[in-house]
């Protein structure tokens, strides 16, 4: 199948970014309601929608999603009428997280109802960083494009960070609490602990390759991290700041060394850390810039991350 014959629907933002870095942006004919990068895909037909109101506070969103999942329902639904019109040759989806995007089962059910096309479903399920790179290769293979130049470019940026951080002794590696959801509290797992290690830090809670764990405030107080980095799933910088600011009123926060030294950070978790695609390399560079500003300056401050506390270290 030539590129001109490809008609791809991407139902998850990370897959859209993988298609873009492989040079296939022009072949995308439909997207999910959350796909927003690269900007030129934003005018494409939307093929999914949430079954819950995505507005509101962290606990309100958490409760709505939990209620849906307990009802044995998917959190999102596929617009089969739009798929029928688009007649895609391929659909990219995921089986990694039922809260992050439409489920594989939901996509398979939708495709079974189509009468004008029988698209090939490519499902991504990354847990480790290596899985993300393997997914890029798999998508490239399925769509007839070359992945090695793209992967080599990403790897060279990773190597540039690791070469500076790999020799650091533990004493020079800050302990880091990466927070993926604020209320209820959840640490970041999957590929995030790997990124923290590569960036010259020690991840305190999440385990490499495992789903993000729920966390108790007492655990943060007991571990007393050197740095706290907020990267809530689906939230940009402004939304993350709004959600994190009330935490500063908690009495246990004032005694944390990260708070006392001003090493509490917010990030655009939606654009970077929670999307298992090529911008995980940007995420690594953001972490390196946060944890070792003496060695790294990529220019992400103000767009990818900011200090939550604006006072000078004491």
- Homologous superfamily of domain range 3-125: Nitrogenase molybdenum iron protein domain (3.40.50.1980)
What kind of architecture, by CATH, is found in domain 168-307?
3-Layer(aba) Sandwich (3.40)
Q: Which of 102, 288, 266 is nearest to 201 (CA)?
A: 288
Lowest mean pLDDT among 94-103, 133-142, 258-267, 299-308: 94-103
pLDDT tens for each residue of 179-211: 998 888 899 999 999 999 999 999 999 899 998
**pTM score, whole prediction:** 0.89
First to last CA, the chain: 62
Could you read off the pLDDT of 88-120 as tens digits, one per residue? 999 998 875 555 556 777 788 888 888 788 999
Domain boundaries in the chain? 3-125, 168-307
Cβ neighbour number for residue 125 with a 10 Å cutoff = 13
CB atoms within 10 A of CB 264: 23
Concatenate the DSSP letters of all residues of 67-93 into one string: HHHHTT--SEEE-HHHHHHH--SEEEE
For tokens 């044995």, the residue is: 72
Residue 313: which pLDDT band, with cuts at 50, 70 and 90? very low
């Amino acid at each position: 199948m030539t590129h001109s014959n490809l008609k791809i629907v991407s139902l998850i933002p990370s897959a859209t970014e993988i298609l873009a870095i492989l040079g296939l942006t022009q072949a995308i004919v439909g997207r999910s309601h959350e796909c927003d990068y690269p900007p030129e895909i934003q005018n494409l037909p939307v093929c999914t929608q949430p079954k819950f109101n995505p507005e509101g506070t962290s606990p309100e969103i958490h409760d709505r999603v939990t209620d849906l999942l307990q009802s044995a329902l998917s959190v999102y639904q596929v617009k089969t009428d739009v798929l029928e019109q688009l007649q895609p040759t391929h659909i990219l989806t995921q089986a990694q997280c039922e809260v992050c995007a439409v489920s594989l089962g939901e996509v398979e059910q939708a495709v079974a109802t189509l009468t004008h096309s029988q698209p090939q479903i490519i499902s991504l399920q990354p847990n480790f960083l290596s899985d993300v790179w393997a997914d890029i290769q798999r998508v490239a293979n399925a769509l007839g494009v070359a992945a090695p130049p793209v992967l080599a470019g990403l790897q060279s940026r990773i190597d540039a960070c690791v070469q500076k951080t790999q020799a650091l002794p533990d004493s020079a590696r800050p302990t880091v609490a990466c927070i993926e959801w604020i209320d209820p509290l959840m640490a970041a797992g999957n590929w995030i602990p790997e990124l923290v290690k590569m960036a010259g830090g020690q991840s305190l809670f999440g385990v490499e390759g495992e789903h993000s764990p729920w966390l108790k405030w007492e655990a943060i107080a007991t571990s007393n991290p050197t740095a706290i980095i907020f990267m809530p799933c689906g939230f940009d910088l402004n939304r993350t700041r709004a959600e994190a600011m009330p935490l500063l009123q908690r009495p246990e926060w004032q005694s944390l060394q990260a708070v006392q030294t001003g090493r509490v950070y917010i990030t655009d978790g939606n654009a970077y850390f929670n999307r298992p695609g090529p911008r995980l390399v940007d995420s690594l560079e953001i972490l390196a810039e946060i944890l070792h500003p003496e060695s790294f300056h990529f220019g992400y401050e103000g767009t990818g991350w900011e200090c939550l506390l604006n006072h000078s270290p004491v």
